[in-house]
Structures are given as C-alpha cells and as structure tokens.
Structure 1
Amino acid sequence: MLQPLSSRIVIPIVVLVSLLCISCANDSPHDNTFVHCLGNHSEPSHPISAAIFTPKSPSFSSVLQAYIRNLRFNTSTTRKPFLIVAALHVSHVQAAIVCGKEHNLLMKIRSGGHDYEGVSYFAEQPFFLLDMFNLRSMEVDIDSETAWVQTGATLGEVYYRIAEKSKIHGFPAGVCPSVGVGGHISGGGYGNLMRKYGTSVDNVIDAQIVDAQGKVLNRRTMGEDLFWALKGGGGGSYGVVLAYKINLVRVPETVTVFQVERTLDQNATDIVYNWQHVAPSIENDLFIRLILEVVNGTQVATKTVRATFIALYLGDSKSLVSLMGERFPQLGLKQSDCKETSWLRSVFFWDVMDIATSLEVLLERQPQSLKYLKRKSDYVKKPISKEGWEGIWKKMIELEKASMYFNPYGGRMAEIPSTETAFPHRAGNLWKIQYKADWYEAGEDVAESYINSVRELHRYMTPFVSQNPRQAFMCYKDLDLGINHHGVYGYFEGSAYGVQYFHDNFKRLVETKTKVDPTNFFRTEQSIPVLSQVELVRMVTEKAFVSILFGLFAFNWIRTRK
C-alpha cells in the first residue's frame, strides 16, 4: 500500500522561490500571506517551497502549459492561476487545502489535463492550481492481482508498470495513454475492456483521499458513502484523491485488433444498421467501436460519410474471423484485416500509432498533438432505423465538421446495478456517443464554427437518444449542460447537469457532499453542490405543501364517499 507520507515521489521539480518576493497575478486580491501559510504547514523534511510557482517564477508558464490539452484554454487572454502548487508530497496537498480554506480561495485540481472544458486548470475568477503530476508512483502486486496507483500517473504509465510484472494482466481504462488517472477514474473511466470487465471504478477497491479538513483517509476511515461517491461521482467535489487501489484483470497473451472502413457507396448504411444490433450483444471478449465522420467522396467536390469499425478481441485472429462471419457477416472481415499482438501493444493501435512503437513511449506524458476541441455526449437505448441513419448522414454532410464515436455497451455493463457505484450508465444503454470536433486554427470565428457544428449535430440526434433525463457522460465534460455559480440556489443549478451525468444517483451524491464538505471548498463549474439553508427550507416547504394538498384531497374523497 502506498504510504501517504512517503518520500518516494518521482521526478521532483527544483525551482528557486523567494518567499519574501512572491506576489500573485495582477487580478488576484491575495498577497504573500497565502504563501507564508503554505510554508507554515509544510513539513521540515519536505519543504513546499520547491513546489510553488507564481507568475514571476521562470518555470511558471512551462509548468502550467505542460498539462493543457485543449488549446481553447491556452490563449494570451485565458485567465491564469495566481499560483501553482505542483505537489511533491502529501503534506503539500494538505497545506494547499488548509490554507486555501483559511484564505477563502478557489482551488482547482489537475492530474492529466484532459478535461475537455479546462475546468481543472481554468476559471473565470481568481484561483490557484493544485497540480498532481509529480505524485505518480505505482505498486503492483501480482500475487493479489492488485495495484496502488497515485492519481498523477497516466494510463500509459499504469499499463506499462503492470506489464513489467505480468504479460497476462491489464486494467479496464481508456485508450489514450496520456490521460491522467485522477480525472479518468473520478468520472467512471472506460475503455475497450468494459464489455468484459466493466468500467475503471468497477475495479477500484480502496482509495486514499485528503478531505476538507486536511486529513488523509482510506476506505475504512472515510466510510462507504464517500468511497461510493469517489467511484464515478466526478472529481473536484469531495477532496483530493491521492491514490486508488485497483483490481487487475486477466488478459490473454495474444489479442487481435482490426480497423475496417466503409463509405456510403460501400454499403455503410446496412453495415451500421447491423452493427447496432450486434455490437452490444456479441461475446463479451469483443469490443467494436464505430466512428462516423465526413470525408471526400469519389466524385469531385462531393462529401460522404465514412464508417470506421475498430475492435479489440481477447483471443486469436482465426477465432475472431469465425465469430464475425457468424454474427456480423455484413462487415466482411478478412484474416488480412486482423493484427495479432499483446494487450499492451494494442494500446498503440487504438491511439493510431505504429503497433511496433517502443513500449517506453507509454511513459511519455505528452499527447501526439495538441488541438482545439469540443465534445458532447449521449446514450442510445433503442436501435435507429435505416431511415433514421439516412437522415443522420445528410445532417453530418451538411455540418461537415462534427464526427461521432459510438462505444457499445452490453456484457458486464448490463450486469452491474446502476446504484453499485456513482457512475449510473448501465443496463438499458446500447451504446454511448461522443460528439467530436477538432481543429488547429486559432480564432474565435473558427472556434464558433466548429463548436456550433457539434451542438447542432447533438440537437439533431435528440429523437434517437435517451430522454427524461437525457443522459451524459461526466468524463466528456460539457459546460453547455449548465454552470454552477455556487450561490444559495447552487443545488438547483447543479441539478441541471447533475441529473444528466448521474440521474438517480445525484441526490445521494449531494447528501454525501453536504456531509463531507459542507462549506463547499471543493468546487468547480460542474461539481456536486451542497444543500444550502435556503434550499433546505424551500424543499421542506414544498414537501409540506404537497402533504397538505394530499391531505385535503383525501379528506374531500372520504367526505364525498359518505
């Protein structure tokens, strides 16, 4: 088990910080007292000075930008934190929380920086950043088939460290190696093993967290309600998670991957129509993602839709081709389409890299490229008719800039109750949609064009997706769903997005949040809200009013029956 106060932190950042000369950013109302507070709460054996960066620090910009993955939030006009604490030790996390509360400051928490809306490192008001990237050690125990993973680690590092110890173990998580563990698991975490083993949080068995009082807790000391909330209830709401204890899962030494593309003039409509009936119900060892995007047509100046089927099969290629021929013959999968490899190397295939790439690349923490992006999400519960698909093709070609990624459910995802963890999206969902737009050109007009394309495609899909509520995936952060200003009506603002991300689990998350962080220190634009006194009074009043109406109705009914 990782010891909370261990000094075994990797790759420390050394920077000369003069505590007497530090000043905050121009828009910050705070002075040196916050820095002095951090120093006073720092352990002598682990001084916090080396972890503090201000705008006057030579490395401030490089540290801030190192984990910004969406260029929309890396412009000259983007508000920057007035201070960064790049924690090198657990005591630095504790100091940041204690001093942040004491000075009534907004604190953002960042692990890998893949937050789609930048809320882990951006805010409209003055804030400081607690960056977890230095806290990324791992302890893998193959005998117990478990591992402790600090939240500053990336998924690539997790996969690499597991493979160092075993070629037949893995972990159900995402296919992008540079994603940070902390943010990924906090929202549920999924990948191409989810039909076999469920989400990441379905395989979390313990956690270490620093709570709002600065105390280090584990599953036993935090209690089951908070532990339940940490498994998919979103990050930045309950405390700072230091590490997760995860169950490792078994994978075969040989797996098979394939990628097959079909355009509309290659019968894509019929193939996609059949995919939606097959992908959620086929054997759990097979995961087939569908990507829909607009490409150039065969005729000059024309556009068409291309359907890309990319798959992971936990077995050999001969068995896969046989299975596909029986269950999904419309795709026409051939042996030559398949590549046999190890589970670890399949990560490269899914990240659109050469499968023979050096494994050490998984330890590199930077993505292949940086871009501007916008994402949205949906869940689909009923198959779409061929006429429906034809309309979708027309809308996609009209918009041109937005694509969709379909991730099938079924299998293990349909077996776990929606209340087992805070992540609720289970049985009843055929697949999840990620709406996606990427661009590389700066400028507000360009950004607006791409963002509006995603929004319009999302609106067009309304008849085909879940309703009441329209579900959304927390890890695909989308501020279009609502922003919480954390005033006296924060609960009702939070309900706008909270019910979509968590539907029936939202109320329990609010109750847990109100209990463990009643002053709402841990907050973001879409964090779990607390119940204020005003809201409690209003809710009690509404319940009393309903009770009175029911009593009057019952009294009147009894009277008329006499």
Structure 2
Amino acid sequence: MSNSKTLLLFIIFCIFSSCYIPSPAIASDHDPSSKGFIHCLTKKSIPPWLIHTRSSSSYTSILKSSIRNPKFLNTTASATPLCIVMAKKTSHIQAAVVCGRRHRVRVRARSGGHDYEGLSYRAEDRRERFAVVDLSGMRSVRVDAARGTAWVQSGATLGELYHAIWSSAPRLGFAAGVCPTVGVGGHFSGGGFGMLQRKYGLAVDHVVNATLVDARGGLLGRDAMGEDLFWAIRGGGGGSFGIVASWHIKLVPVPPTVTVFDVVRTPEHGAIDVLTKWQEIAPRLPDDIMVRVIAEPRRVTFEAMYLGTCDELLPLMHHRFPDLAMTRADCNEMTWIESIPYIHLGSNATVADILNRSSISRVNTKNRSDYVRHPIPKSIWKKIFAKLQQLTNFGEVQLFIDPYGAKISRIHESATPFPHREGVLYNIQYITYWSGDANGTLALKWSRDLYKFMEPYGSKNPREAYANYRDLDLGRNKVVNGISSYHHGKVWGEKYFRGNFERLAKVKAKVDPDDYFRNEQSIPPLFE
C-alpha cells in the first residue's frame, strides 16, 4: 500500500474511531446508514458486482455458499449480514472496515465456513448490524521451495494449501488439519492440529509472519503489529483482533513414503480393552506416528499415519502396542499428499479431490470438546459406549479422539494462545448428528447429557475446550456499555485459552479498545 493511502486511512480512523458503534434494530437495504455503507464501499473502489445486498438476487445463494452445517441454512433464525463483500484483494477488506466504522456497521470475516456456530456469517442478536467480508476469492498460495516457506491467503482451503505445496515441493508438507475444505483463515486463528501434530506441533507453531487488517483499517505485517498482536492472532480465535489476509508459514519435511492404516474393532471383540490401553500408549509413542481413534456406537477405528514404511512400522507397533494386533495387511503405503484424501475421503479418493471446496453436510451437527489429562477407566468406557448406543433411535454420534504428547506437548503453553500442551493425553471431539428437525431437540439433549456425564473425566479448573470447536453452550459475551464484558467472557474464554485468556484480553484492549470486531465469543477487552 502506498504511503498516501496509509495516511488517508489513518485520517479517516482519527475522525471516526472515537464513535461508539451501537446495535440498534436490524436495518434494511433502505436504512440511510446501510445505503451510506454500500455507497462508501463503491467509492472505495470495490466493484458493485462484488457487493451483494439483501435485495440482490444473488444474496441468498452467496450467503449459503459455504454454510457447512444445514441447521444454519434457515437464515430467518438469526441476524443475517446487511451485505456480503466478496473480497478479491486486501484493499477490499480495508475498505469494508473503514466504511463500517464510518456508518456504524460491524464486519465479520468468513474463510471456509466450517465455524461450528456459524459466527462468521450470522449473529444471534437480531439487532446486530454487520456485514460479511467473504475471503473465498482470496486463496492464492505462493510456495518458496528453496526457503521451505509459503504465503497463503486466508480464503484458501487446507486442501488447496496442501496441493500447492506438493506441486512445488513434493518432499515438503505442512502440519495442519485433516479436512481439506476447512478455510486457512479460521483454522490458523484457533491453532490448527492434524495428523502431523505429534511430529511438528500445530499450524500456528509454524506461522512466521502475517498481514492483518486491523480495527483502524490499516494493513500491518509482523513488525508493524508488534509481538503481542502477532502472538494473539496465532491461536487466539478468529473475529477478535482484525482480519488476517495472509499467512507466512514455515513448511516441514515429509518422507517419500508414509504408511496409513485403519484397524477396526467392535465392543464385542475387545474394542473397549484396546481403547483403554490406547489412551496411555498413543501419547507416548515416537513422534513419527499418530494413532487417533474414531469411536462410534458399534465400532472403534484406530486410524494412523506413520512417517515411514510398513517394514519400519510393524516392529514398532508389535513392540509398543501389541494389543492392537496390527498386521502387514493393514498397511497402506503412499506419499504424504496421497494420505490427505485417503484419510478424510477414503481409499478411492484422488489428490485432485482435495481441491473440491464444496462439502455441505446432509445432516445437522452439534460439536463439543474435552481435553483429558488422566486415563479414563475401562468401567467408564463401557458406560460411554452404552450411552452412544442410546442415540441411535434419533441421531448418530462420533467421537474423534486425538492423542497429544511428542512435539505438541514440548512447546510451552504460553508460546501461543493455544494452551493445551504439556500433560494432555488427548482431545475428544463429540459430534452429534441428526436429520430433519433443525432444532434437534432429542439429539441435543442427549449431547448435553453425555457432556455432563464426561465432566469428571475431562480436565478441571478449567474444563478445557478447543477454540476451533466453538461451542456457545460454554458461554456467550454480554455487552455492557457498548463493550463486551471481560467478566462474562472469562466463563468461556478460560476454557479455550486457560491462563492465556487474560493476556489476549489485554491485547484486545490495546488494538481494538472500542470492540469493533465483535461476536458472541470474541475476546473482550481488559483495560489495565
């Protein structure tokens, strides 16, 4: 950006940033401030065809284009954006923020649409006036194979990132999530873990720079934003400090061959015994292997990736985890990039499939999470599976259980906002599915009951949760005198961030003191 443009944005901020942004009754396209906001966007050189208002014929299809959870497709159930800006470049994001401040319209950013409570494109308070900046048009990936780095825009999906890395440097990869349709922006903002986490840690552990549009509409790199803000955006959750347009990441080496296996056991054939032993073995295995668990009412799948060959893996598993009874027939050798579609989409998927951005589920879902620091007794696992089987009358359930230990646990919990490090055995993601009734009354009650049952066996003081598995049942912000209350935010915030929450709130107070970037679980400011 030129110095003159930077100066202009600074002057605009000085004029308008002191005004409080209220949340009056929801506005229509004909509201004077809404019209003024749209007019301001066009004056800032955003082409009209990139601005979709409620009166636009394309508005509904654009709004629903990356809603992954069908229960949010009913757009009358919550507040919807005044307009959607399909940003193509960073200046479009800056214009939305500057115009939003001028016309008292908040801005929320959406990258992949996988946010579990839909807070990137909807608001629970129907009085909330906001616009959405959709980043799906900003998805370039520039790989520097010689330096082992890449710049990736927030609108890219993990699949697009992985594919671009492989195309430029087949012996490099990146430590991030399993699902290829997850947007980079939201994923990195909350931490980002996946099958390489035990070898290399989280996605945010490898972010070395970023470009951020801040609450003033300014464009900042790492040096300009300062280390506190740079720390906060690497795991402090999306929608609180600004809009990250792009991320500079350090890539990681991957071997020419990895081995993937799926070993399935049923409760009737020893699954509970093996799972009980897994929870102590898996976090202590060598860094090169990740064995996670997918638990369902009638089966348990032990799904793994090893950074090496089957010949190397077999003696390791026979020695360290003999109860799994893995055999050579379970081995599937492939390249790292081939493991991405194989693990998420199945054995018939191809590398090209990870470029498909569409993945709207056919069933409604509710997600919750736990961190476990002490092994759960076998007697309790038996009760858990009995509860899982109760749901089959009105829904389905999966528990995704990811082991920690190794590299992820050797990084200090204050190094990034993501605090779930040393002492964590594994993370549990509870996913409840149901069809038909979007409210899912019976399924949701069952989900709440299971979560309550699990309370004695998860971490304590606080009971931890993963920020990227956002769960509004943990708490919601309350706005007091125009600012999100720190006191109310602690209720949910310390579950996601433990002792890092206070530091995040202090950073928020410095960079966004009037709480412009705000949603139901955004970081509230804490003034010193």
Give the alignment's TM-score, normalised by structure 1: 0.85
How far off its partner does 1:76 sit? 5.0
Unaligned residue ranges in structure 1 (runs of 5+)? 6-22, 296-305, 537-562
Pair 1:350 & 2:349 matched? no
The CA deviation at 1:385 is 1.6
Task: Say if 1:28 and 1:200 are closer, same or farther in 2 by CA, change over 3 A.
Answer: farther
RMSD: 1.8
Shift of 1:307: 1.3
Alignment partner, residue 144 of structure 1 = 147
Distance in 1 (CA, whole Å) between partners of 2:30 and 2:421 is: 44
Q: In the alignment, what sits opposite 2:197?
A: 194
- 2:283 is paired with a residue whose SS is coil
Partner residue of 2:112?
112
CA shift in 2, pair 1:28/1:441, >3 Å = farther
Confirm or deny: 8 A CA contact 2:69 2:360 kept in the other structure.
Answer: no
Structure of larger gyration radius: 1
- Does structure 1 retain, via aligned residues, the 8 Å contact 2:160–2:180? yes
CA distance in 2, matches of 1:212, 1:76: 27
Q: How does 1:392-411 map to 2 (within 5 A)?
A: 392-400=384-392, 401-411=396-406
2-structure distance, mates of 1:210, 1:160: 27
Cα distance in 2, alignment partners of residues 28 and 499 from structure 1? 39
Distance 1:443 1:511 in 2: 38
* 2:56 aligned partner: 57
Matched letter for residue 72 of structure 2: F
Output the amino acid matched with 1:470. R
Code of the aligned partner of 1:108: R
Render the CA deviation track for 1:414-442: whole Å, top value 9, x for unaligned. 11000001111100100000011123324
State the distance in 1 between where 2:325 and 2:163 align.
34
1:100·1:107 contact (CA, 8 Å) conserved in 2?
A: yes
Aligned to 2:68: 69
Distance in 2 separating the partners of 1:331 and 1:29: 66
- CA 1:314–1:28 in 2, change beyond 3 Å: closer, same or farther? farther
The 8 Å contact of residues 24 and 54 in structure 1, kept in 2 or not, is answered as no
Map of 1:473-492 to 2, 5 A cutoff? 473-488=466-481, 490-492=485-487
SS of alignment partner, residue 94 of structure 1: helix
Q: Which moved more, 1:122-131 or 1:395-404?
A: 395-404
CA deviation string 1:312-335 (max 9, x = no partner): 111111211211111111111111
How far, CA to CA, are the matches of 2:66 and 2:387 in structure 1? 35
> Does the 8 A contact of 2:341 with 2:353 survive in 1?
no
Report the CA distance shift for 1:198/1:30 in structure 2 as closer, same or farther (over 3 A): same
Tell whether the 8 Å contact from 1:48 to 1:92 is kept in structure 2 after alignment: no
Q: Equivalent residue for 1:281? A: 284
1:188 offset after TM fit, Å? Answer: 0.3
Code of the residue aligned with 1:55 in structure 2: it is R
Question: In the alignment, is the contact (CA less than 8 A) between 1:140 and 1:148 conserved in 2?
Answer: yes
Q: Counterparts of 1:31 and 1:465 in 2: how far apart (Å)?
A: 46
C-alpha distance in 2 between matches for 1:388 and 1:29: 59
Q: How do 1:68-467 residues align onto structure 2 when only pairs under 5 Å count?
A: 68-78=67-77, 79-123=79-123, 124=125, 125-295=128-298, 306-355=299-348, 357-367=349-359, 369-400=361-392, 401-444=396-439, 447-467=440-460
- Cα distance in 1 for partners of 2:166, 2:452 equals 43
After superposing the two structures, state which structure 1 stretch, 182-191 or 311-320, moved more.
Answer: 311-320
Q: How far, CA to CA, are the matches of 1:454 and 1:132 in structure 2?
A: 32
What stretches of structure 2 of length at least 5 have no aligned partner?
A: 6-25
> How many angstroms does 1:390 deviate by?
2.0
Matched residue SS, 1:429:
coil
CA deviation digits over 1:440-482, x for unaligned, max 9? 32443xx122222221111111111100000000000000011
Count of paired positions: 495
The percent identity for this pair of structures is: 44
Asked if structure 2 preserves the Cα contact closer than 8 Å seen for 1:255 and 1:341, the reply is yes
Paired residues of 2:28 and 2:34 also in contact (CA < 8 A): no
**Contact 1:69–1:371 (8 Å) recurs in 2:** no
8 Å contact kept, 1:258–1:337: yes
Secondary structure of 1:212 counterpart? coil
- Listed one character per residue, the Cα deviations across residues 218-254 of structure 1 (whole Å, up to 9, x for unaligned) are 0011100000001100110001100000010001111
Q: Work out the CA distance in 1 between the residues paired with 2:110 and 2:438.
A: 26
Shift of 1:29: 7.2
> How many angstroms apart in 2 are the aligned matches of 1:491 and 1:34?
30
Q: Distance in 2 between matches of 1:54 and 1:134?
A: 18
> For the residues of structure 2 that align with 1:223 and 1:156, how far apart are their CA atoms?
30
Corresponding residue for 1:523?
518
Q: 1:27 to 1:200 in 2, by over 3 A?
A: farther
> Residue 209 of structure 1: SS of its match in structure 2?
strand
Inter-partner Cα distance in structure 2 for 1:111 and 1:324? 39
Question: What is the TM-score with the length of structure 2 in the denominator?
Answer: 0.91
What is the DSSP-based 3-state SS (H/G/I as helix, E as strand, rest coil) of the residue aligned with 1:271? helix
CA distance in 2, matches of 1:239, 1:349: 35
Give 1:74's aligned amino acid.
L
Once the two structures are superposed, residues 362-404 of structure 1 have per-residue CA deviations (whole angstroms, 9 ceiling, x without a partner) of 2221127443110000000011122222222223223444331
SS at match of 2:235: coil
- The CA distance in 2 between the partners of 1:396 and 1:137, in whole Å, is 42
Asked whether the equivalents of residues 257 and 308 of structure 2 are also in contact (C-alpha less than 8 Å), the reply is yes
1:486 and 1:144 mapped to 2: Cα distance? 46
1:472 aligns to 2:465 (yes or no) = yes
Counterpart for residue 40 of structure 1: 43
Mark the CA change 1:495 to 1:28 in structure 2 (over 3 Å): closer, same or farther: farther
Kindly tell me: are residues 287 and 28 of structure 1, through their superposed partners in 2, closer, same or farther at Cα, counting changes over 3 Å? farther
Partner of 2:345: helix, strand, or coil? coil
Q: CA deviation at 1:24?
A: 6.5
CA contact (8 A) 1:114 1:180 kept: yes
Mapping 1:24-39, distance limit 5 Å: 25=28, 30-39=33-42
Whole-Å Cα distance in 1 between the matches of residues 503 and 464 of structure 2?
17
Please say if residues 513 and 528 of structure 1, whose CA atoms lie closer than 8 Å, have aligned partners that are also in contact. Answer: yes
For the 8 Å contact 1:28–1:126, the answer to whether it is kept is no
CA contact (8 A) 2:215 2:242 kept: yes
Q: Deviations over 1:483-519 (max 9, x none)?
A: 1132246111111111100010001100100000011
Q: Report the alpha carbon displacement of residue 41 of structure 1 after superposing the two structures with TM.
A: 2.4
Are the equivalent residues in 2 in contact too, given 1:27–1:126 (CA < 8 A)?
A: no
The answer as to whether partners of 1:24 and 1:83 remain within 8 angstroms in 2 is no
Distance 1:31 1:430 in 2: 50
| More displaced 10-residue stretch of structure 1: 127-136 or 176-185 | 127-136
Cα distance, 1:354–1:58 mapped onto 2, change above 3 Å: farther
Q: Does structure 1 conserve the Cα–Cα contact (< 8 Å) formed by 2:106 and 2:129?
A: yes
CA–CA separation in structure 2 for the residues paired with 1:86 and 1:485: 30
User: Is the CA contact 2:97–2:217 (under 8 Å) kept in the aligned structure 1?
Assistant: yes
